């Protein structure tokens, strides 16, 4: 799945060290903002600002998980599968490929979150 995105916006987001750290950590497993704050050695406001920018570019996705005590919290997962930048005929072309999640996997995650 590929979608048109503004080249300068994506490159500006990826130019940020914290945004790249968030992507690398969330590519391994979904993480909460507080966990990302610890892993990236950044304040929560910094993490939330970067997550907002990453979400705008569809580079991360947010899901709600239920804690055993009944509270809920958000976890973030990298949504980027591949980024391809090419230069042809005097123009840059950016192609983003996003991770595709199987519908059955989405349903399973939702069901497990409800238990």
Q: 42-55: per-residue pLDDT in tens?
A: 999 999 999 999 99
Q: How confident is the model at residue 100 (pLDDT cuts 50, 70, 90)?
A: confident
Structural domain includes residue 82: yes
Residue in the block written with tokens 């590519």? 27
* Structural domain includes residue 97: yes
| Residue range of the domain that includes 100 | 7-113
Q: What is the average pLDDT across 8-24?
A: 96
- Rg (Cα) of the chain, in Å, rounded? 16
Confidence of residue 6 (pLDDT cuts 50, 70, 90): confident
Total domains in the chain come to: 1
The pairing of strands 80-88 and 60-66 is unpaired
CATH (domain of 72): 1.10.10.10
Q: How far apart are CA 16 and CA 84, in angstroms?
A: 18
Residue 2 placed within a domain: no
Confirm whether 1 is domain-assigned.
no
Mean residue pLDDT of the chain comes to 87
């Amino acid at each position: 799945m590929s979608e048109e995105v503004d080249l300068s916006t994506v490159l500006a987001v990826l130019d940020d060290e914290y945004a790249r750290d968030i992507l690398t950590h969330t590519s391994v497993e979904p993480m909460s903002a507080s966990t990302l704050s610890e892993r990236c050695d950044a304040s929560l406001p910094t993490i939330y600002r970067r997550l907002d920018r990453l979400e705008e570019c569809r580079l991360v996705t947010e899901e709600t998980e239920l804690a055993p005590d009944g509270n809920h919290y958000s976890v973030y997962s990298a949504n980027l599968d591949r980024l391809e930048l090419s230069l042809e005929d005097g123009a840059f072309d950016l192609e983003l490929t996003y991770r595709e999640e199987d519908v059955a996997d989405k349903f399973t995650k939702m069901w497990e979150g409800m238990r």
